[in-house]
Amino acid sequence: MIGLGTIINAACVLLGGALGFFFGKALKERYQDIMVKACGLSTVFIGASGAFQHMLVPQDGGLGTTGSMLLVITLCLGGLLGEIADIEGHIEQFGAWLKVKSRSERDPHFIEGFTSASFTICIGAMAIIGPMNDAIYHDYTLLVTKGILDAIIVMALTSSLGKGAVFSVIPLVLWQGAMTVLARLIMPLMTDAALTNLSMVGNVLIFCVGINLLFGKKVRVANYLPALVLAVAAAFLPV
């Protein structure tokens, strides 16, 4: 069944959110705060390790870096395009709409939970390659693995930021569903170089999500999403 992987992934997110919601209620405010910081620290190091995996290369018996200019150019141009389009503002408006529809007006962290969880589980190579493998090869093992990771992330974010994190299942289904439908068109674009660029830039954005969790909203992460498209496109430019 095509799309089964995304269904399993979404079910894992809902399960993790349910566990986080019910157990999170039992936590005092100071415990919830330490959970937010733990999520932030974890997300920072997940993003940093993913980015460095592609940036650090053996060089003259030590380590060198590659892809620095790619990061600068794609993030600058992508951020400018995202700021012009106000992607962050539109996502927050959607989060505010969900907040009203779910009768969560008294939840001060609803939108923060929704955006933080959405960016963390929807940005990255697994959210693209997983649905493609599901659609073309009927192999959803990557999405099952991703689902387990997403369940843990959403459980932690829900316990600390509330049920807004659970609603990240909506962009997850929309995004991975679109990737599943468009798999045959997009698959030829996902060369090794394109995946490397996508993973590197995507992990930098995940790092920024962690920064926001630790220090409050410092980076308008959604406005940098066009950088992911530019990163893939850069793989096809003549060197």
Nearest to 97 by CA among 162, 153, 160, 164: 164
Per-residue pLDDT of 102-153, as tens digits, reads 999 999 999 999 999 999 999 888 899 999 999 988 999 999 999 999 999 9
User: Could you tell me the CA-to-CA distances from 26 to 14, 36, 48, 122, 214 in Å, in that order?
Assistant: 19, 15, 32, 28, 22
Question: What is the sign, positive or negative, of the torsion defined by CA atoms of 20, 218, 208, 210?
Answer: negative
CB-facing half-sphere around the CA of 8: CA atoms within 13 A: 19
Residue 75 confidence class, pLDDT cut points 50, 70, 90: very high
User: Could you tell me the CA-to-CA distances from 232 to 65, 78, 194, 228 in Å, in that order?
Assistant: 19, 12, 5, 6
Query: Rg of the chain's alpha carbons, rounded to an integer?
Result: 18
Contacts 24+ apart (CB under 8 A), 24-29: 24/158, 24/159, 24/160, 24/162, 27/159, 27/160
Residues, the chain, total? 239
**pLDDT for the residue 38:** 87
Q: If DSSP codes are grouped into helix, strand and coil, which group holds residue 62?
A: strand
Q: What is the pTM of this model?
A: 0.87
Q: Quick one: average pLDDT of 177-203?
A: 92
To 5 degrees, how large is the angle CA 150–CA 116–CA 223?
A: 120
CB environment 179-194: b (16+ within 10 A), e (fewer): bbeebeebbeebeeeb
CA 87 from chain center: how many Å?
Answer: 15
Alpha carbon distance 204, 227 (integer Å): 11
Residue 66 confidence class, pLDDT cut points 50, 70, 90: confident
